[in-house]
Amino acid sequence: MPAATITPADATATSHPAPSMRAIVQHAYGSADTLGLGEVARPVVGAGEVLVEVRAAGLDRGTWHLMTGTPYAARLAFGLRAPKNPVPGFDVAGVVVAVAAGVTRFAPGDEVFGVGRGSFAQFTAAREDMLVHKPAGLSFAQAAAMPVSGLTALRGLTDVGRLQAGQRVLVIGASGGVGTYAVQIAKALGAHVTGVCSAAKADLVRSLGADDVIDYAREDFSAGGATYDLILDVAGNASVTRLRRALTPTGTLVMTGGEDGGPLTGGMDRQLRALALSRFVGQRLTAFVNKEHFTGLERLAALAEAGKIVPAIERTYALADAPEAMRHLASGKARGKLVIVP
């Protein structure tokens, strides 16, 4: 199908006579109580952007951070007093309805997934280089559950962690959004995987392929004498000392997150300490902030198509129930991923 190329100015008028759409809107930082269902103007796509009709939108901790405006440093990029974009949500899967000038990889009617700006809505705009074609074997909900969490796990284990087949890997926070992908990807790449999570989610982590599971309430992963070639530290805020104790002498620590650092730094000080120490020890201590790009999404899509990863979705929500979904995410009780289906 030839691409319906439209200019930013006529994008809305040409393809969608109705100027508005239903969306979750947020006019101040805060809890999920700040989210409400409303009518807003449909996004206007700029050069190199694609307008996507949202079939499913995934939740992730980044969306929660943006909702609460924490750590405060994030407000420099996203808006000092309130979010610049009042529609939350990054992860999206849907159908292309219009493309702007300069877009070459997509045409109206294409089924896509990736990262949009404001996906908790009927329509979202996304940069072309943040989208890929959706594998036919994946549902929209499954595809929308993958981008941010799946890419963080993939990049943390491979590009940053340099995982090799046969290595012993420890995933701390194995039951959450990032961790459920990390366990599956590490297994797919030939690692021996140990997951750390609560007892309530041990069955989930085992079902994803983990060889061993440690219940963090009953057992200290750093106290048993076992050591790992690679630790992906996603949750729990373990001290760098404990993390190093569980590493082999030349092992690699990859820190992606942690939620106990307070609103100012969000725990980044722990990661900065590890980075500074890395220069003086035999172990490689690293941290990274993921950047989404279609090349990573293509790698994820290939893993999903091959059946190597299956998104672990606990449940889906209607658009109007986005506040309830965000509360469930914030509670820490979610098993894997949550998805909104408008």
Cβ distance to ligand NAP smaller for residue 129 or 314: 314
Residue 97: CB minimum distance to ligand NAP, A: 29
Instruction: List contacts with ligand NAP (CB under 6 A).
Output: 60-62, 148-149, 152, 172-173, 175-179, 196-198, 200-201, 216, 234-236, 256-259, 288-290, 332, 334
Cβ distance to ligand NAP smaller for residue 45 or 59: 59
Residue 231: CB minimum distance to ligand NAP, A: 12
Pairwise CA distance, residues 162 & 108, whole Å = 38
Cβ distance to ligand NAP smaller for residue 188 or 330: 330
Pairwise CA distance, residues 224 & 168, whole Å = 15
Residue 201: CB minimum distance to ligand NAP, A: 5
Cβ distance to ligand NAP smaller for residue 43 or 176: 176
Residue 221: CB minimum distance to ligand NAP, A: 8
Residue 183: CB minimum distance to ligand NAP, A: 11
Pairwise CA distance, residues 285 & 278, whole Å = 5
Residue 107: CB minimum distance to ligand NAP, A: 31
Cβ distance to ligand NAP smaller for residue 22 or 245: 245
Task: Say how far residue 22 (Cα) sits from the centre of its chain.
Answer: 24
Residue 306: CB minimum distance to ligand NAP, A: 23
Residue in the shown chain whose Cβ atom is closest to ligand NAP: 176
Cβ distance to ligand NAP smaller for residue 92 or 97: 92
**C-alpha torsion angle, residues 294, 296, 298, 300 (rounded to 10):** -140
Cβ distance to ligand NAP smaller for residue 64 or 123: 64
Q: What are 255's two structure tokens? A: 């820190």
Cβ distance to ligand NAP smaller for residue 243 or 334: 334
Residue 144: CB minimum distance to ligand NAP, A: 14
Residue 176: CB minimum distance to ligand NAP, A: 2
Instruction: Classify strands 36-41 and 20-25 as parallel, antiparallel or unpaired.
Output: antiparallel
Cβ distance to ligand NAP smaller for residue 107 or 216: 216
